[in-house]
Structure 1
């Protein structure tokens, strides 16, 4: 394929793509949308409150929703294009969504999970950042490669014997493309079927510095021992609440640059660490371990509490 990623797909069937983050449904807010009309070559265009015909130079009509990915996914499938969506592509997200630590907080995967629960084929696509900043010439070959992977998945979707949402089909796929120099080489990147690395993370939030009474020095976990800080505008009389003020500040070194010896071979984290593309089939549910050996699930006596 020589055209920009996903361009050919528009001619074959309806798709929807997402780029934003977070994965919860918005159940208390009103979701508003607008129409957007991008132009070649940079995608800049006009915004309209109502749908209209394309003007000269405009390539297509987009709908922008101010909702989370899962919210947008459901609205697109059931409200905007009911019965017309064949495949939902969430992404490409700029950043990896490999391993449990990233996947379980991923809005990109969240949108794909949402659409798969609506019985729609779904793919979450992420571009793993390796170099900072990512060279711009990596993106077009990443788009080309992603298009080929998506087409292959569409044409041979795969079966899941335990699947029930789409009559035994795989619910969704999670694809991670590392943004590395190998994208520019003729042979391209190796593509691997993978399973999700069940890793873990530690502290994700850091306490914010706050003013305290002069008689009470800063605690050992303070980021700044001075009385000036992000919360210095709060009156000193409110200092009793300052100790419970935190901000997202994750310690990600071990997740982004893991010791390869500790990463399971065949996992998505292992493939990304090797500079390879990972393709992971997923179920739209939490993992279910087998029942403990010897327990009869029909024997209610097993569940009597012992005092």
Structure 2
């Protein structure tokens, strides 16, 4: 199978993208042809966006040692006769990675059979996370390009990147990717898969789930900050701070200060998600991952209309 892999966390990094290299290596060992286009930096929470008016410039990444940050980026690609593995990085979004990967590279490798977006650094369960997810955004872009797509996320419960646990998640993910491709329901545009990073995940249940409909219910997801004297925090550093809060099951610090002129930073309220999961009935994606089961949610790539509204609107 020829698989295009994209993500929203960027190239391998123990800080911001610790799972991508493991999945690609496991897919290759399983005999799949893997082509890779990734954002050149962290692009989480960006959904299915494209950067209008922005000219995209690719660079070229040669992966290093598994679980080490020793890959090399180059401004120019390797010669055609080189047997060194090389991925493409673009200064854009996961959805743009899909477009560029499907239509502008890899034609000599044959048609792409499946797009895998991920594995995301963290869960993408429930509507609140999924509607903002760049991982889901990449898979949705593939779906509206008439390609089968899987959005894959690894749900961590602490930030210990144990290589054996990551390997177990990647082994299960590859088996599940192969299974879903074989049984693909033509009514399904994409599957959202959440794999918990726990020991022995391959022996735990894999469940069909529905997406839990929830909302940000306790106020703004932006934190007011003092007008900074220095440059904005970089995307990698900002995402690391958010993931640390997610691992604790708390929000980032939220000290509101009154200013006439205010600055803000993204500080999502994870408690809203966790509380909605606690109050929900079994069977949804958030509940499954909380129970440390793997969740598989079949999705359609549209905003489904509400039935029962027909005819002319008279004002």
TM-score normalized with structure 1 length:
0.74
The answer to whether the Cα contact below 8 Å between 2:28 and 2:34 also exists between their aligned partners in 1 is: no
What are the within-5 Å matches in structure 2 for residues 79-228 of structure 1? 79-81=104-106, 84-160=111-187, 170-183=188-201, 188-202=203-217, 203-209=220-226, 223=256
SS of corresponding position for 1:151: helix
Unpaired runs of at least 5, structure 1: 161-169, 212-220, 226-238
Specify whether residues 43 and 50 from structure 1 end up closer, same or farther in structure 2 by C-alpha distance, changes over 3 A only: same
Aligned to 2:28: 7
- Give the drift of 1:50: 2.9
Aligned to 1:71: 96
Unpaired runs of at least 5, structure 2: 1-22, 229-253
Q: How many Å separate the matches in 2 of 1:283 and 1:199?
A: 18
Q: How many Å separate the matches in 1 of 2:227 and 2:54?
A: 32
Give CA-to-partner distance per residue, 1:3-36, whole Å, 9 cap, x none. 9421146x44455465742231111111110122
Identify which of 278, 284, 287 aligns with 2:301: 284
Aligned to 1:164: none
SS of corresponding position for 1:60: coil
Give CA-to-partner distance per residue, 1:205-243, whole Å, 9 cap, x none. 1222469xxxxxxxxx96358xxxxxxxxxxxxx64x2x
Specify whether residues 222 and 89 from structure 1 end up closer, same or farther in structure 2 by C-alpha distance, changes over 3 A only: closer
Specify whether residues 18 and 269 from structure 1 end up closer, same or farther in structure 2 by C-alpha distance, changes over 3 A only: farther
Query: How many residues were matched structurally?
Result: 258
Q: How many Å separate the matches in 2 of 1:108 and 1:102?
A: 10
Give me the CA root mean square deviation. Answer: 2.9
SS of corresponding position for 1:200: coil
Aligned to 2:242: none
The answer to whether the Cα contact below 8 Å between 2:123 and 2:194 also exists between their aligned partners in 1 is: yes
SS of corresponding position for 2:27: coil
Q: How many Å separate the matches in 1 of 2:211 and 2:277?
A: 17
Whose Rg is larger? 1
Q: How many Å separate the matches in 1 of 2:70 and 2:87?
A: 12
